[in-house]
Amino acid sequence: MLRLLLGGGGHAPEPRRTVFIEATKAFLGKIVDQVLFIPYALENYDRYLEIIRELGLDAGYHLEGIHLSENPLDAVTEAQAIYVGGGNTFRLLHTLQEKQLMSTIKARTQDGLPYIGVSAGTNIVCPTIATTNDMPIVWPQDLRALDLVPFQINPHFVSGTAHYMVDGILVPYAGETREDRLKEYHEMNDRPILAMSEGSVLCVEGKTASLVGDTSWARLFRKRQDPQDYTPRDSLDFLLS
């Protein structure tokens, strides 16, 4: 049975942090004690592990960095659970492809290995990484990702025009809004996009899917349809079929 716990990004501040930690505990339960942490989306793997521990985002589980294992493929094969951190999605996918870990992560997750992803780690469970917000600093062999769910996710979803501080005043950005970018995706592609707000958590268990925790909400963008908002009260099972 597929088991995914997917964070929309931005989980460090309270009360989002509490929601993420409680969701992780509920998801992994007491059977798991060690979790394989995959930090490839950032440059400094050791520092990344430290930050996760400092913030308590390990939820009390023992995280083992995959970069510290002699054979990363064996580490995936033997893991009780995996946790793929955020950063740059292109770098994450490129590194997983380069280390030939994609097919094993996919097969084990399909067989029920609990998978936790945050931001970039959430992007890569989708069919492709075409709805990442990241800069293409490196070119993966392929934009296809783990393809564990049949829809796209846009993490760190924010609506409307960004504002930036210029000479002490917040001024509007003239470039594309997030909505513009997701509309452009649908000009070239068909899959629905679940745009997950910062601090939101999505839980997939077999054929069921729902948001969890009171900091969670998401907006679903479908081609040529008005977007629709979802909260933890709503079933998202329909996205899996």
Q: Which residues bind a second copy (CB under 8 A)?
A: 9-10, 12-13, 43, 87-88, 91, 119, 129-139, 143, 155-156, 158-165, 170, 173-176, 181-182, 184-185, 187-189, 198-199
- Verify whether residue 119 is a known catalytic residue: yes
Of 48 and 61, which CB lies nearer to a second copy in the complex structure?
Answer: 48
Length of the chain measured in residues? 241
> For residue 122, which of 169, 84, 165 has the smallest C-alpha distance?
84
Among residues 11, 94, 134, 216, which one is catalytic? 134
Among residues 46, 58, 69, 156, which one is catalytic? 156
Beta carbon of residue 80, minimum distance to a second copy (angstroms, whole number): 29
- Cβ burial, residue 66 (10 Å; 0-12/13-18/19+): buried
- Alpha carbon separation from 208 to 149, 156, 205 (Å, rounded): 11, 23, 5
Of 70 and 187, which CB lies nearer to a second copy in the complex structure?
Answer: 187
- Verify whether residue 134 is a known catalytic residue: yes
Of 107 and 138, which CB lies nearer to a second copy in the complex structure?
Answer: 138
Beta carbon of residue 118, minimum distance to a second copy (angstroms, whole number): 11
Write down the residue that tokens 């339960």 correspond to.
29
Among residues 94, 119, 200, 210, which one is catalytic? 119
Beta carbon of residue 16, minimum distance to a second copy (angstroms, whole number): 8
Specify which residues 4 forms β-bridges with.
Answer: 115, 204
Specify which residues 83 forms β-bridges with.
Answer: 37, 116
> For residue 200, which of 4, 55, 16 has the smallest C-alpha distance?
16
Contact present, 51 and 23 (Cβ < 8 Å): no
Beta carbon of residue 56, minimum distance to a second copy (angstroms, whole number): 17
Element counts in the chain: helices (H) and strands (E): 7, 13
Of 32 and 143, which CB lies nearer to a second copy in the complex structure?
Answer: 143
Which residues belong to the active site? 119, 134, 156
